[in-house]
Amino acid sequence: MRYRRDIGWWVVAVADGAGSAPLSRQGAQVAVKTVTEVLPERLSKLGMDVFKSNNKTLCECMVGAAADATQQIEEDAIFSGRPVTDFSTTLIATAMKRDGDEWLCVSFSVGDGGCVIWDAPTSSIIPMSLTDSGEFASETRFIDSKILNNAEQCLTRLFVHRVRSFTALFLMTDGVSDPGFETETSLQNADKWEVFWSEQLEPVFAEDTDGTSQRLLTWLEFFIAGEHDDRTIVACVPNVESDSTAT
């Protein structure tokens, strides 16, 4: 996560390496580090009029940050003398900024896992990612030049929404989304989220905020038979008294 106070942008990213790729965790780390470093500056160069759905200029901005991550992974592969597929990773990159009475939220993703804006008082969700299933069961897609060079497909991966209030914007890898929702459809189902929130996450966020991070880490140790994938979840909670978020 990175916050640029001078331009008002929060940038958050999560990534999950391929289980069959020996250096995938390194690839995931490089992807997250690169995107959170380069995306704020890229976004700051855009006029506010581009922040609407299916805007090609905004899409190029988000794709450009993902391409920077892909390039860095490719350079690491060359330096280490390993095939780039050894570093295969998914990526969900999200940016947020306070704009008047609203929060402007932008997201771009390749791979599984998910990103949603959840509002508990209204029991509503706004999907902020396109979940890739891959060609076979238990398979997904990973960031690479082939996907990022397909402009038409990239537009379907761009999500832009303005919201006045919400409980949290969640990003999660499939180690969290799969056991919590099982299917892509469930991940975008408000009723499923109501159950997931009330039974799983609400107790984590209901108590004093100082201990939220530790409670969330403890919660991530949940046991479900057959579900042992790496787990990452980020919750961006708006501060109602300022333009900031707690992550």
Q: pLDDT digit string (tens) for 172-199?
A: 999 899 888 988 888 999 999 999 999 9
- pLDDT confidence of 137, banded at 50, 70, 90? very low
Question: Does 115 score more than 60 pLDDT?
Answer: yes
Its pTM stands at 0.91
Domain boundaries, the chain: 2-246
CATH superfamily of 2-246: PPM-type phosphatase domain (3.60.40.10)
| CA 245/CA 247 separation, integer angstroms | 6
Higher pLDDT, 124 or 47: 124
The model's confidence at residue 60, banded by pLDDT at 50, 70 and 90, is very high
What is the Cα–Cα distance from 142 to 2, expressed in whole angstroms?
23
Residue 6 CA: distances (Å) to CA of 110, 117, 138, 239: 29, 25, 42, 18
